[in-house]
Amino acid sequence: MTHTPHPGHLAIVGLGPGMRDLMAPRAIQVIQESDLVIGYRVYLEQISDLLTDKEIHVSELTHEVERATLAVQSAHAGRRVCIVSSGDAGIYGMAGLVLDLFSHSSDTDTITEPSVEVVPGISALNAAAALLGAPLMHDFAAISLSDLLTPWATIAKRLAAVAEADFVVVLYNPSSRKRQWQLGEAQRLLLVHRAETTPVGLVRNAYREGQKVQLTTLSHLLEHDVDMFTTVVIGNSCTRIQQARMITPRGYESRA
Amino acid sequence: MTHTPHPGHLAIVGLGPGMRDLMAPRAIQVIQESDLVIGYRVYLEQISDLLTDKEIHVSELTHEVERATLAVQSAHAGRRVCIVSSGDAGIYGMAGLVLDLFSHSSDTDTITEPSVEVVPGISALNAAAALLGAPLMHDFAAISLSDLLTPWATIAKRLAAVAEADFVVVLYNPSSRKRQWQLGEAQRLLLVHRAETTPVGLVRNAYREGQKVQLTTLSHLLEHDVDMFTTVVIGNSCTRIQQARMITPRGYESRA
C-alpha cells in the first residue's frame, strides 16, 4: 500500500452570481491554492484569470456525477482539488453530490484522508432579493420547479402548503425549453390562497451580463419571459411595491 | 430651496457571517466610499479597520428605526451613507425598513434624489449549510421563531405546513433569554410529521470566534444550548448524517 506524502484537499466552492466583486475572497484563495479545478464550462470562463497555472477539467452542465467523481478521486490521490458551482454550492448546488460520493469513497487509511471544505457563496436568492429591494424580510420558502428528480406531486404539495401559510416564495429552475407547464401550474396553486395583485419579482442573470429585473403581479406572471436563468420571487400577503422596489414588512402587527 | 451639488448615496450592506474573507469585495468598496457608516456596535467593531477616516454612528441592537431614519435623512442631505447588517441585509435584515422609510421620504426634487444600493451578503443560512455539509440541496423554508412582530399562530401554522410538506427547515432567532418556549413548540409541531431521528444541525457563531457546529436529532434538540446566535437546520425525510456531515439528497427518485 502506498502513502502519498501529503493528504489531498477537496474544496466545493460557490462563485456567487458572477461579478467578481460578489465572490468571497475565500473562494478566490481556495481556487488559487488548488492544482485541479473542475467545473461547468461557463463557470470556469468566469474565473479564467485565476486558472492560468492550473489543470482544469471542463464538463457539460448535466455531467454532475462525472465531475463529482473526478473531484473525489483526485482528492484521494493527494491532489488539491476545487469543484466550482455558480451561486452557493450549498443551495441546490454540487455540495451534496460531492460529499455523498466522498463519504462512500473513504477508507480506513486516515493518514491520507483528504480534508474537505465547503465555501459558501451568495446564492440566487440573496442576489435576486438585493436587486428587487427587500422581499425576504419575513419567512420564505425556496422551491425548485424541476421535476427531473422530484415527483411533481411533491412539488405541488409544497407550493400549496407555502401558499396557504403565507410564505414569500422563491422559485428556482422555474422554466426551461423542455419544462414549460410547471410555472403555470405553480401560479394556479399559489392563486388559490394569494391575491392576483400579489407582487412578483423576476430577476434574470443577476449581477451578470444581460441582467434584467422586472416587477409584475401573480396574475400577469406568465406574460413574461422566464427561463432557467431567472429567479422568481413571489410576495406574501403583505408584500408591496414602493417606488419600483419589492418590500415585505418584517412583521404582521405593523400592518395596521 | 437649496440644491446640494451632488446627490447622496444610500447603501445597505450585508457583512456576511463575520470573517473578512467571506465578505463581498463590493461590500468593502461601498464602505470605503462612504462618509457616514451606521450600524450596531458589534458589526462596526468587525470592520473597524475600514472606518478610520469615517464618521460613524454606533447604535444598540434594538434601535433599528433610529438607524434607518438617520441613514435615509443623511442620504437626502447629500451624503454617502452606508448602513451595515451582519449576514445578508436582505434576509431578515435592515433592507426592508430602510427602503420603506426611504420611499416615504422621497420628494419630487429628483435632482437630489439619492441613489440606492443593496449589497447582498452570505447569510446565516448559507454559512450554516456550508459548515454542516449540504443540508440545503432540496427545497427549504426559513422561519423566524421571534414572535415580537408576528403572532405565534402565524408561525405555528407555517411550521406545521412545512413539516407536512417535507421541507428542510432553517430556524432563525430560535431562542433568546426572553423567548424560551418557542423552540420546544416548534419541535413538537415538526415531530407531528417528521421522525424523531430526523437529523438536526446547530451552528452557533458561524465563521466567527466561538464557532460551534453540532449534529443531533429532532427528538434530542432541546438537550442542546440554542441561543440567538444559533441557526438551526432540520432535515427533510431523506436527510442523513454521513461521516459527521448533514446531507440532503437532491431528489426523491434516487432514494431507492
- Set of chain A residues whose Cβ sits within 8 Å of the Cβ of B22: 24-26, 120
pLDDT value for B94: 93
Question: Smallest CA–CA separation between A38 and chain B, in Å?
Answer: 19
- Set of chain B residues whose Cβ sits within 8 Å of the Cβ of A126: 88, 90-91, 120-123, 126
With a cut of 70, list the residues of chain A below it in pLDDT: 1-5, 107-111, 253-256
- Name the residue facing A141 among B88, B92, B162 (closest C-beta): B162
Pairwise CA distance, residues B219 & B198, whole Å: 8
Q: Residues B119-142: pLDDT tens digits? A: 999 999 999 999 999 999 999 999
Question: How many other CB atoms are there within 10 angstroms of residue A110's CB atom?
Answer: 8
Mean pLDDT over B75-90 rounds to 95
Question: Which pLDDT band holds residue B256 (cuts at 50, 70, 90)?
Answer: very low
Q: Determine, for residues A250 and B96 on separate chains, whether the beta-carbon distance falls below 8 Å.
A: yes
Q: How many CB pairs under 8 A join A and B?
A: 241
- Set of chain B residues whose Cβ sits within 8 Å of the Cβ of A30: none
- Set of chain A residues whose Cβ sits within 8 Å of the Cβ of B106: 243
Summary mean pLDDT of chain B: 93
Q: How many CA atoms lie within 13 A of B187 on its CB side?
A: 23
Question: Which pLDDT band holds residue B211 (cuts at 50, 70, 90)?
Answer: very high
- Name the residue facing A253 among B121, B123, B149 (closest C-beta): B149
B145 → chain A, closest CA residue: A139
pLDDT value for B7: 87
pLDDT value for B5: 60
The least confident of A73-87, B13-27, B32-46, B94-108 is B94-108
pLDDT value for B83: 97
pLDDT value for B109: 56
Does B124 or B111 have the greater pLDDT score? Answer: B124
Q: Is B153 exposed, middle or buried (0-12, 13-18, 19+ CB in 10 A)?
A: exposed
Q: Residues A27-85: pLDDT tens digits? A: 999 999 999 999 999 899 999 999 999 999 998 777 889 999 999 999 999 999 999 99
pLDDT value for A252: 82
Q: Determine, for residues A126 and B95 on separate chains, whether the beta-carbon distance falls below 8 Å.
A: no
- Name the residue facing A144 among B139, B157, B253 (closest C-beta): B139
Q: Determine, for residues B118 and A126 on separate chains, whether the beta-carbon distance falls below 8 Å.
A: no
Pairwise CA distance, residues B19 & B27, whole Å: 13
- Set of chain B residues whose Cβ sits within 8 Å of the Cβ of A162: 141, 161-162, 165, 167
- Percent above pLDDT 70 for chain A: 94
Q: Determine, for residues B158 and A165 on separate chains, whether the beta-carbon distance falls below 8 Å.
A: yes
Pairwise CA distance, residues A55 & A57, whole Å: 7
pLDDT value for B255: 42
pTM, rounded to two decimals? 0.95
Could you tell me which of A234, A224, A121, A124 has the C-alpha nearest to residue A175? A224
B79 pLDDT above the threshold of 50? yes
Q: Is A11 exposed, middle or buried (0-12, 13-18, 19+ CB in 10 A)?
A: buried
Q: Determine, for residues A95 and B123 on separate chains, whether the beta-carbon distance falls below 8 Å.
A: no
B26 pLDDT above the threshold of 70? yes
Q: Determine, for residues B248 and A96 on separate chains, whether the beta-carbon distance falls below 8 Å.
A: yes
**Please, which residues have CB within 8 angstroms of residue A87's CB and are 6 or more apart in sequence?**
A14, A15, A16, A17, A93, A121, A122, A123, A124, A127
Residue matched to cell numbers 457583512: B15
Q: Determine, for residues B158 and A167 on separate chains, whether the beta-carbon distance falls below 8 Å.
A: yes
- Name the residue facing B88 among A119, A126, A157 (closest C-beta): A126
Work out whether strand B245-247 and strand A199-204 pair parallel, antiparallel, or are unpaired: unpaired
